[in-house]
Chain A
Amino acid sequence: MGVALSADLHAIDGITPRNIVRATSEAEVADTIRGANERGEAIVITGGATRLGVGDPPARYDTALDLSALRGIVEYEPGDLVATVRAGTTLAELAEALTPRGQRWPVEPGLPQRATVGGTIASAAGGPSRLRYFHPRDWVIGARVVLGDGTPVRSGGRVVKNVTGYDLTRLWSGTFGTLVAIVEVTLKLTAIPERTVSLIADADVPEAFETAKLLQGSGLPLDALAIVTGEAAGSLGARGDAALLVRLTGPAAAVRRLGREVRELVRWRDVANEVWNEIGALPLEAKWAARVAWPSATRPAIQFAGYPAVIYPGNSTAYLLRSIDRATFGKVRASLEAVGGIAVLERASGEYKREAGGAWGTPRVPLAIARALKERFDPRGVLAPGRMPA
């Protein structure tokens, strides 16, 4: 256990914790959490700190429990397509271990050099891979965590199909370090496709949406699909108001066929596959960012022309990337929530969040259940109190 010198990485909305604990073992995580319980202190768990500010600012913040040094591959059996890794392992480190065996964890949270596996799961990170591989939690089959009261607990296992008791592993997903500290996870892996090709097309915003809709409706197995608008499109080398991007993967013959089919719809240029890292990083590096999502039968009343955003049309999700005035944001949120959608402030000042009615908007989980979970797993409110609705 060491004490880091730089507190900047751990600051949330200008609040700097008094202590920074860099844990390197599960026992140290448990000790730190138990100590906080005894002293009545509050802990915020952090990994690569790429999404540390997501959620409401914690009501109290005494200690940053930094798990980025709790890293490394614990066990990797390529024949099982399963790997167990410590939570602080970055996505890049994981890829380094898996790539030589032709395998990967098909989750793309953005900033893979910094983003950790634990943080990706804890924050239910989005990204281009959501189109084909859905939720990060679908690629996690077991976990070791420390509960808010300091108890180390194991869930799931090392097998890809498992109904032995409750699936707590997936319950931890998206809890942003407010119920447990994830210390180790067992991941389900998949093979790296034989070929991967990325294409970009210049378009105006309506054209981009229309083409995306046609691509989706074709039922073709696309690997990723995004629209990037405004100056964000320019940063990717797009020449129009919007860039439409598609990724095609599979055996070489299948990728050629997919290429032929998508070229019938619009003119594409080849683009390096790394472009998806750039897209994934945009919402993490913007000064202000909001994640909006809507039922696909509706269309969000957002004017994307001339405004920077990353849109994943296949998932009916977009990241808004330039601060809008609070009144307008309020209207956007209200209009989305009215149809069952959401508008979550992922990067904004505490003041902005407060005045907008909170980072999350209207909670959609019955609060009685959320509170009961919080009380049972973190009875003394040690883990990031106030970060999530409960």
Chain B
Amino acid sequence: MWEYDAGFDRRPPTAVALPGTAEEVAAVVIAAREAGASIVPRGAGTGLSGGTIACADAIVVSTARMRRIVSIDAVARVAVVEPGVPNLAVSVAAKEHGLFFAPDPASQRISTIGGNVATNAGGPHALRYGSMTNHVLGVELVVPTGETMRFGGEVADLPGYDCVPFIVGSEGTVGIITKVWLRLLPLPEDVRTFVAVFADIEHGARAASAIIASGVVPAAMEMLDRVTIGALNAAFEVHLPADAGSLLLVEVEGLREETEDWATTIDRILRKNGATEVRSAETIAERELLWKARKLGYAALARIKPNNYLHDAVVPRTKVPDVLREVNAIADRYGYVIANMFHIGDGNLHPVLLFDARTQPIDRVMEASAEILKVAIDAGGTLSGEHGIGLEKNHFMFWVFGPEDLDAQRRARDAFDPEGTMNPGKIFPGGDACADIPTERTKRALAEGMWV
């Protein structure tokens, strides 16, 4: 299990360490340093971009055993946790204080806070609350020298450069996270969830844009397309409207008076933009059923084809309808079944190319994928909204950033890890640390060949 994550590539590490304390993490880092070995930090291995693949004969250091919730301060609304604590466990522990932890990646039952910090994970509710970076107040980090350093904490704007937002999303390339200070929020008084049915993706996407433009910020706004709906109905008892061309799942949270007001606005916009039906979840059970459908999406898609390639591009929200049309056209051209189930409110697309690796070569899937990325970039978008760059998209980085921009990112990394011993071969394009990964050459050729 240590040779892969939820992405495609695999490579066995030289060794795996499972430290139980920050001191043990530091000891492992020092030992690796003395042995001249590089390190790949790892949480639950749910990452989707190959970020935890052990390139360059690295040692994998898993923080999964460090699962203690150190403290919850209900007045300060701060939780201090170890990196191996699963995301959902924070909200569960906070609930008795009337609080919750906002970031909710689909993997939240399994994925760890350490991994969530490292990838700046998002989730459906990032629409209203933002991603991990908006909720991480402080980090304790074992840096490549083996020193344990503390950045930030409960008190904001401590004297000095605030490296916390840099460490969040650094994908294990600057150190190993051993403790995290998290912001908690008061549980909303009321939650309302709707599902709106549209004849096609275009109408649904236009309705979503209109909601954002109206000034109402839903807590979450998700779109499911026809393929996804069909797969869900076939696989599970979710009773989604079978004839729908797209579904919008919209949720608002707040005071009862707020949700009532927003619900009226949203209902009006949905109908005005061609919703053929708007259902409201009347009970908690109905609401959970709607979210269950959303969260079971990938499992349902797996029944159509054994393999899938999941994308994470983000585009300006007003560009979503155009980009979706182009993305679906690419899938058609290559002859792949494509499913779209994504965070439409943020413009964070998750097109899923469905294929069978036994008969359909991965190289061709990657080629279609590169075309999809290009469409997103050309629309003013970017490579990844919440999954990360890792090994999967590093060679595409120069599609977004110029050499000086990338060099500036390297300078920041070097301030922590001048020798590049932490998670080598990730994020930055052009390196050779992961050259022996089979898909590496294809990706690199596509990145360099398609960029005109």
Contact of B316 among A77, A190, A341, A377 (CB under 8 A): A77
Q: Is B347 an interface residue (CB 8 A)?
A: yes
Chain B contact patch, size range? 35 or more
Task: Check A373–B161 contact: CB distance below 8 A.
Answer: yes
A361 touches B159 (CB 8 A): yes
Out of A79, A170, A173, A368, name the residue touching B318 (CB < 8 Å).
A79
**Interfacial chain A residues near B215, Cβ < 8 Å:** 102-103, 191-192
Least CB distance from A157 to B in Å reads 5
Mask of A150-178 contacts with B, CB within 8 angstroms, 1/0: 01111101111111111110110111000
Check if A221 is an interface residue, CB within 8 A of chain B: yes
Kindly list 12 other residue pairs between chains A and B, CB separation below 8 angstroms, not including A147-B408, A250-B258, A377-B411.
Answer: A80-B318, A103-B215, A158-B316, A159-B385, A166-B412, A191-B214, A219-B187, A252-B261, A256-B257, A295-B76, A315-B156, A366-B147
Contact A166 B76 (CB under 8 A): no
Of the candidates A191, A295, A363, A376, which one forms a contact with B412 in the assembled complex, judged by CB atoms under 8 Å apart? Answer: A376
**Which partner residue on chain B sits nearest A251 by CB separation?**
B261
In the complex formed, the residue of B with least CB distance to A176 is B161
Chain A: which residue is nearest B164 at the CB level? A170
Q: Are B213 and A341 in contact (CB under 8 A)?
A: no
Which of chain A's residues 6-27 have a Cβ closer than 8 Å to chain B? none
Whether B159 and A342, one on each chain, are in contact in the complex, defined by CB atoms closer than 8 angstroms, is yes
Give which listed residue, B165, B258, B404, contacts A171 with CB less than 8 A.
Answer: B165
Contacts of B380 in A (CB 8 A): 157-159
From B388, which residue of chain A is reached at the shortest CB distance? A163
Produce 1/0 per residue, A71-105, CB < 8 A to B.
00000011111100000000000000000001100
Cβ-defined contact, A154 with B212, below 8 A: no
Contacts of B316 in A (CB 8 A): 77, 80, 82, 158-159
Q: Are A364 and B158 in contact (CB under 8 A)?
A: yes
Contacting residues, chain A, for B386 (C-beta < 8 A): 161, 163
Cβ A168 vs Cβ B166 within 8 A: yes
As a 0/1 sequence over residues 73 to 86 of chain B, the CB contacts with chain A under 8 angstroms (1 = contact) are 10110000000000
Expressed in whole angstroms, the minimum distance between the Cβ of B446 and any Cβ of chain A is 17
Say whether A161 contacts B314, CB under 8 Å: yes
Would you call B23 an interface residue if the criterion is a C-beta within 8 Å of the partner chain's C-beta atoms?
no
State whether A167 touches B165 (Cβ < 8 A).
yes
Is B242 part of the contact surface with A, judged by Cβ < 8 Å? no
B153 touches A253 (CB 8 A): no
- 0/1 interface trace, chain B 218-239, chain A, CB 8 Å (1 if under): 0000000000000000000000
**Docked pose: A174 CA to B151 CA in angstroms:** 14
Q: In the complex, are the beta carbons of B382 and A159 less than 8 A apart?
A: yes
Binds A, one of B12-20, B125-133, B281-289: B125-133
Given A163-B119, A179-B161, A342-B155, verify A250-B257 contact (CB < 8 Å). Answer: yes
Given A162-B314, A362-B159, A365-B162: A167 touches B261 (CB 8 Å cut-off): no
Q: Select which of A79, A317, A368 is within 8 A of B156 by beta carbon.
A: A317
